[in-house]
Structure 1
């Protein structure tokens, strides 16, 4: 089977991971507190973006999702840094010059410190006052140079890592804050998508998706799987399909104008969650491990695609992130071949999958692991790894 006409082949990256933490960001403060390794200049993208784009184009990966760092654009509330705007416009022009279509992300985990200090997405007064201004500013400043939008990275995952006992700032574990930030970031994401569609460019989500597989029939396992479903699937599904946001046991929020705001439902996939006796376990048990510690298997990608087709029949889908952190490039190549086979089979079965973005192009800063985990098709010295040939063959035919 040939890939559909116009199938999107791309790479993904984030501002902090590729450029290093912005001095005015909450992540920079987190590093200074010793809660994360120093990000430095990320992978040097701010210097080498033109050459990086040329490498991607040579591999046939002619779409690139990047983020603009809110804390660089607006280091203080209401003060925009025009030099940073100009710099990002230069980056976007360089992408076009290399034949790369850029997709822009407005938020990839890190926040301006002033926004975070004022409550961030856990405080509805704060985000409703500040977030729409940021969205409007980015749309006006860069809309003429982008080919598409992926507004917020993994809004269903962010509450867990920041307010569910996870290791990202502010590093709290508070059920009420978790609920409020879940509501806030889901609504903010959908409202950004609605505004960005007005630019005439396609808009895709980036939900972090996995399925939870029961490995026994205990009540504890059933409860854990139901919790996973509620937090990672049901909330955003209800919002974008039905216009109703439901977060845990909080009252539902009616938002009918936010149903159908995405042109494509995009998602990241990394692993499948096994549950035994109510606790997560590596799954499938015989699969190799990534350098991040989880089992590596493409089978769960088909589970996610099947679930999306059941819940959102006829909706265009986008694999917005797929990759593995490993020093074993043979494993990366095998994982790519397996994942592409899954996508090809899903398309043959009728799934409307529009594209595939690999995470990432060039090895980058990996949050709490620093620079010791390799996700790239290309290393930080800009040597193209053999695994890149797997995508090159498919993208260039």
Structure 2
């Protein structure tokens, strides 16, 4: 396949999943309450990062998104840990030394305990007091070492996994808190992008996207499809395209200063969302299942690219995460080939896709599953899997 000049080939990871939970974070408490497996030292990234970066470079994957853990940087409000700052600077410097282009994420699901316990992003006054300080500190402290920013991971899913019936802290199903969390995280994400653009470095989003497919004509299914589009598409598109945040069942919020804050619209893709009788089901039914229970099918990636191109015509796109949790590396390789072919086809058809980041490089901690799900093209033993060479072939031509 032929790819545009300067197409970005990369990998992505998160702080907690690669380093283990920070003692000052809400996830640390979650593990100790028995709500999640212990993460320990993650996949060993804290001591292996230089060698990991060299492996990525050898595969031609010269872009890498990592996150900083807010709870490590700021374990108490307003107090920054100098040793954590120095360590993250060392890591970013090592990435550059290996010939990698680092992108930095500021929030990947976990929060400092002191921020989470009073309400986190559900309280407008709370997040507006503390979140901009975190963003500005990271910009000032690490801006000289990064090539770009991807400020918040999957803000459209965050309200669901925390206040919409999901299993992430505080796991408190509540319609009012869900709505407030949706407003807060979407506005905080866009505000971070606005601040980070001041560094002169490109800013990309990481929305978690799938296109729902109705498998029957029931009212329950129609309502579920409508709500999926409202929560996972319409809210953020209205904000970053039009400057109006429209969270379902809540009054619109005008924020014209946040229109156009992203240089690239990045997204993660893992599955098609099939809806039958109002419930999410694996789709297509003939597809193999991943260890996470998803149908392994790249076809939904085409649907996402087509919808983004239609909604945001002219905005550059980034596949910020694409991967599958499986011990079957042949399945991973097949899934990669299919996904890359679809991205290449979209580019040929005029969709402006700037890069492809694989989730993940090295097998890591998978939240509620611990270490029993493999997403990496490299094992925790640092053995490079054959699927990695699917990416290497395209990245290095």
Give the count of matched residue pairs: 397
Q: What is the CA–CA distance in structure 2 between the aligned matches of 1:288 and 1:200, rounded to whole Å?
A: 44
Q: What is the CA–CA distance in structure 2 between the aligned matches of 1:328 and 1:4, rounded to whole Å?
A: 31
Shift in Å at residue 310 of structure 1? 0.7
Deviations 1:290-331 (A, max 9, x none): 001110000000000000011000110000000000000000
Correspondence 1:197 to 2:194 = no
- Normalising by structure 1, report the TM-score: 1.00
Structure-2 residue corresponding to 1:391: 391
Structure-2 residue corresponding to 1:28: 28
2:319 is paired with a residue of what secondary structure? strand
1:357 is paired with a residue of what secondary structure? strand
Structure-1 residue corresponding to 2:230: 230
Q: What is the CA–CA distance in structure 2 between the aligned matches of 1:299 and 1:340, rounded to whole Å?
A: 11
Q: What is the CA–CA distance in structure 2 between the aligned matches of 1:277 and 1:382, rounded to whole Å?
A: 44
Shift in Å at residue 217 of structure 1? 1.2
Q: What is the CA–CA distance in structure 2 between the aligned matches of 1:80 and 1:276, rounded to whole Å?
A: 49
Structure-2 residue corresponding to 1:371: 371
Structure-2 residue corresponding to 1:61: 61
Structure-2 residue corresponding to 1:329: 329
Q: What is the CA–CA distance in structure 1 between the aligned matches of 2:28 and 2:187, rounded to whole Å?
A: 26
1:326 is paired with a residue of what secondary structure? coil
1:355 is paired with a residue of what secondary structure? strand
Structure 1 residues not aligned, in runs of 5+: none
CA RMSD of aligned residues (A): 0.5
Shift in Å at residue 153 of structure 1? 0.1
Structure-1 residue corresponding to 2:258: 258
Q: Map 1:244-283; keep pairs closer than 5 Å.
A: 244-283=244-283
1:169 is paired with a residue of what secondary structure? coil
Shift in Å at residue 280 of structure 1? 1.4
Structure-2 residue corresponding to 1:350: 350
1:104 is paired with a residue of what secondary structure? strand
Structure-2 residue corresponding to 1:110: 110
Shift in Å at residue 285 of structure 1? 0.3
Q: What is the CA–CA distance in structure 2 between the aligned matches of 1:118 and 1:103, rounded to whole Å?
A: 30
Structure-2 residue corresponding to 1:38: 38
Shift in Å at residue 278 of structure 1? 1.3
Q: What is the CA–CA distance in structure 2 between the aligned matches of 1:214 and 1:19, rounded to whole Å?
A: 39
Structure-1 residue corresponding to 2:81: 81
- Normalising by structure 2, report the TM-score: 1.00
Shift in Å at residue 118 of structure 1? 1.6
Structure-2 residue corresponding to 1:147: 147
Runs of 4+ in 1 over 4 A off after TM superposition: none
Structure 2 residues not aligned, in runs of 5+: none
